[in-house]
Amino acid sequence: SLNMGKEKPQVYVTRAGCPTKGIDLLKQKCDVEIWSKPLEPVPREELLKKVKGKDALFCLLTDKIDKELLESAGPSLKVIATMSTGYDHIDVPEVKKRGIKLGYTPDVLTDAVAELTVGLLLATSRRLFEAHQEILNGGWGSWSPLWMCGPGLATSTVGIVGLGRIGIEVAKRLHTFNPSQILYTSRSDKPEAKPFGGIRVPLDELLAQSDFIVVTCALTPETKEMFNDETFAKMKSSAIFVNTSRGGVVDQPALQRALESGKIAAAGLDVMTPEPLPPDHPLLQLKNCVIIPHIGSATTKTREDMCILTAKNIIAALQGEPLPAEL
Ligand code: DGY
């Protein structure tokens, strides 16, 4: 054969329905096996079985990559590439310890997530879903002076928690709505904050001053449940809380209490615990909680780019070349 008798590397892809451009790239170089059901994650048992003896794993944020999985894969596994920018589903030290390469998808989703974050913020502050519901249930009596009012961005204080790639793009976009200031927390001063006049402040100051609190940090042991009874209590009672990072940064029962008691005004969540959120979950009963199903990066082009980058990460690693996006 063209491979001079050598077998092609074996790749397991944990989800059907990934954009074909990326999967086709993989198929040119590798033997590709794909879990068959597009809308469901591969069951754990199946994944543990299928990963055995594979050279590469193409996974999603719905797959837990831990010691058990790596042991099940065995020594043949050379690279894991996740079609996501978040990597809290991966035990990174366990992967590194084994010399397995790790790929992810930063940058290609930044604009899409920033756009969605702005949309979610506006949907929450201007009560779009609640207002739409009022039309459907006959609650739209007439135009009324204070009906369906909420806060505006102009002259407000915006606080961005975690000014990374996504946080910067969110801030740039919100800047065009003319807030009076944009505060941020970060481990270091960011020169990128200059164009929008971003001011780095301690978290407590951001919480106390912000009218809009936007969370764009990664989920790590340090950020886990950093939004809890204590931190919600430091926010203004008029604060709008927006989270497009990971549900795990929020102590969700504490958020529920803050929304029910009026400690904060409203929340917009693209991420939560668990995902999917059961349709009868109490958070969904709250008018001041806007919930959408983890669609931050969901533009057609972005998902295609994420898939292509994931495939390229795998191919590069298998060829012994630097990964285009290595973690
Ligand atoms: C990510 O990439 O981590 C997002 O949550 C999904 O695009």
ipTM field: 0.97
Least Cα distance to 41 among 24, 57, 59 occurs for 59
Q: Judge if the beta carbon of residue 85 lies within 6 A of ligand 1.
A: yes
Active site residue 294: yes
Residue 4 confidence (pLDDT)? 52
Q: Judge if the beta carbon of residue 117 lies within 6 A of ligand 1.
A: no
> Where does 10-106+300-318 sit in CATH, by number?
3.40.50.720
Q: Judge if the beta carbon of residue 297 lies within 6 A of ligand 1.
A: yes
Average pLDDT over residues 314-321: 98
Rounded to the nearest angstrom, the distance between the alpha carbon of 270 and the centre of ligand 1 is: 11
Which two tokens mark 114? 């920033």
pTM of the predicted model as reported, rounded to 2 decimal places: 0.96
Rounded to the nearest angstrom, the distance between the alpha carbon of 307 and the centre of ligand 1 is: 12
Rg (CA), the chain: 22
Which two tokens mark 65? 């990559």
Work out the percent of the chain whose per-residue pLDDT is above 90: 96
Residue-averaged pLDDT of the chain: 97
33 - beta bridge partners?
12
Q: Which atom of ligand 1 is closest in space to residue 297's alpha carbon? A: 7
Residue 37 confidence (pLDDT)? 85
Q: Judge if the beta carbon of residue 162 lies within 6 A of ligand 1.
A: no
Q: Judge if the beta carbon of residue 61 lies within 6 A of ligand 1.
A: yes
Fold match, 10-106+300-318 / 110-291? yes
> Where does 110-291 sit in CATH, by number?
3.40.50.720
Above 60 in pLDDT, residue 218?
Answer: yes
191 - beta bridge partners?
none
Question: What are the extents of the domains in the chain?
Answer: 10-106+300-318, 110-291
Rounded to the nearest angstrom, the distance between the alpha carbon of 85 and the centre of ligand 1 is: 5
> Could you report the per-residue pLDDT of 30-84, keeping only the tens digit for each?
999 999 887 889 999 999 999 999 999 999 999 999 999 999 999 999 999 999 9
Contact 174, 183 (CB under 8 A): no
Above 90 in pLDDT, residue 317?
Answer: yes
Which two tokens mark 206? 């951001």
Distance CA 296, CA 119 (A): 10
Average pLDDT over residues 77-106: 98
Least Cα distance to 241 among 224, 264, 208, 262 occurs for 264
Residue 2 confidence (pLDDT)? 45
> Could you report the per-residue pLDDT of 1-36, keeping only the tens digit for each?
344 556 899 999 999 999 999 999 999 999 999 998
